[in-house]
Amino acid sequence: MRRMAGSRRPIFYDTETTGVKPTRDRIVELAAYDPERDRTYCSFINPESSIPAEASAISGITDEMVRDAPLFREIGPAFIEFCEGDVILVAHNNDAFDRLFLDAEYGRIGMKVPPNWKWVDTLKWSRKYRPDLPRHSLQSLREVYGVTANQAHRALDDVKVLHQVFSQMVDDLDWETILSLLDESAQGGARMPFGKYQGRPLLEVPKDYVVWLAQKGILGEHEALQKQFLELGVIS
């Protein structure tokens, strides 16, 4: 990956949480890597609640490990300081998970995510530009690109793997191009190929209609279209 003169600086990051619902669950670990400055950030976070056993089984993080950790009200400002300047926050499944958790945590302490931050979701990139792959999880991509195994589902380890994987995926593309290509997808450049909304940009197709197509099995017959609606977050 190249960085054009005067362009934004990438920050790869990851969260470990008590569950999958940002409005209810909490972040228990936050890690980031700034490859241009060769700096890392990593901290446990006391979620002010017990960590469910199923979450601990995935991340390996227990109540005892976070009991004396700082609260997010202490971590939040420190993380913003780490991400100073014009940055791009890069995470795997960023748009549907990590970014939502950051938004929720900052909201709880009366703060907002800095409006100048840009975002890249490497899961969306993988689904869009590597449709030949059967799976797009970070660990599956790690195997595809021959990146050394890590301690999966621990934040800093996943961040470093993500940096290596995504660097290979985009090769020498600069960050402005990466942002532009993802933005084109988000703006719904593709159009509905059939039905009552034929010819309309995908983002203009009512969500209830897309859900109806999925429930009737019609969407499943059009794999490429189904992937596009997944990338746009219209269905999950």
- Same domain for 98 and 195, yes or no, is no
Distance CA 232, CA 202 (A): 8
Mean pLDDT, range 91-117, rounded to an integer: 95
- Same domain for 57 and 117, yes or no, is yes
At 221, give phi and psi (nearest 5°): -80, -5
Rg (CA), the chain: 19
Q: pTM of the entire structure? A: 0.77
- Is 172's pLDDT higher than 80? yes
Give the pLDDT band of residue 177 (cuts 50, 70, 90): confident
The proportion of the chain whose per-residue pLDDT surpasses 70, expressed as a percent, equals 93
pLDDT in the model for residue 159: 95
Number of residues written out for the chain:
236
- Same domain for 179 and 203, yes or no, is no
| pLDDT one-digit tens code per residue, 208-233 | 899 999 888 888 877 778 877 887 77
- Same domain for 230 and 199, yes or no, is yes
Helix (H, G, I), strand (E, B) or coil at 9: strand
Full residue range of the structural domain in which residue 214 is found: 191-236
- Same domain for 233 and 167, yes or no, is no
- Is 185's pLDDT higher than 70? no
- Same domain for 44 and 106, yes or no, is yes
CA distances from 18 to 12, 124, 213 (A): 21, 24, 33
* Residue 82, token pair as written in the block: 């780490």
- Same domain for 177 and 202, yes or no, is no
- Same domain for 85 and 120, yes or no, is yes
| pLDDT one-digit tens code per residue, 32-49 | 999 999 999 999 999 999
Mean pLDDT, range 48-55, rounded to an integer: 97
- Same domain for 70 and 165, yes or no, is yes
Give the chain's largest Cα–Cα span.
57
- Whether 136 is catalytic is no
Domain assignment of residue 157, yes or no: yes
Domain assignment of residue 3, yes or no: no
Q: How many domains does the chain have?
A: 2
Pick 214 or 10 by higher pLDDT.
10
The active-site residue, picked from 92, 136, 153, 163, is 153
| pLDDT one-digit tens code per residue, 133-143 | 889 999 999 99
At 228, give phi and psi (nearest 5°): -65, -40
- Same domain for 63 and 160, yes or no, is yes
